[in-house]
């Protein structure tokens, strides 16, 4: 059984604002997608 994860809307809005202005998270996670090859599904 998976655990529920709660994320505050305020923190999501802050991340969106910072990323929109500075592209911090876009640059930080560039190239991460598609690199995992052997993930075990849960």
pLDDT attached to residue 19: 86
Could you read off the pLDDT of 7-42 as tens digits, one per residue? 788 888 888 998 899 888 888 888 776 656 666 766
Confidence (pTM):
0.48
Whether the per-residue pLDDT at 1 is higher than 70: the answer is no
DSSP for the chain?
-PPP----HHHHHHHHHHHHHH-HHHHHTTT-TT----PPP-
pLDDT attached to residue 4: 80
pLDDT attached to residue 12: 86
């Amino acid at each position: 059984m998976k655990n529920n994860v709660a994320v505050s809307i305020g923190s999501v809005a802050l991340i969106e604002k910072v990323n929109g202005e500075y592209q911090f998270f876009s640059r930080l996670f560039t190239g991460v997608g598609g690199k995992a090859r052997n993930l075990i599904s849960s």
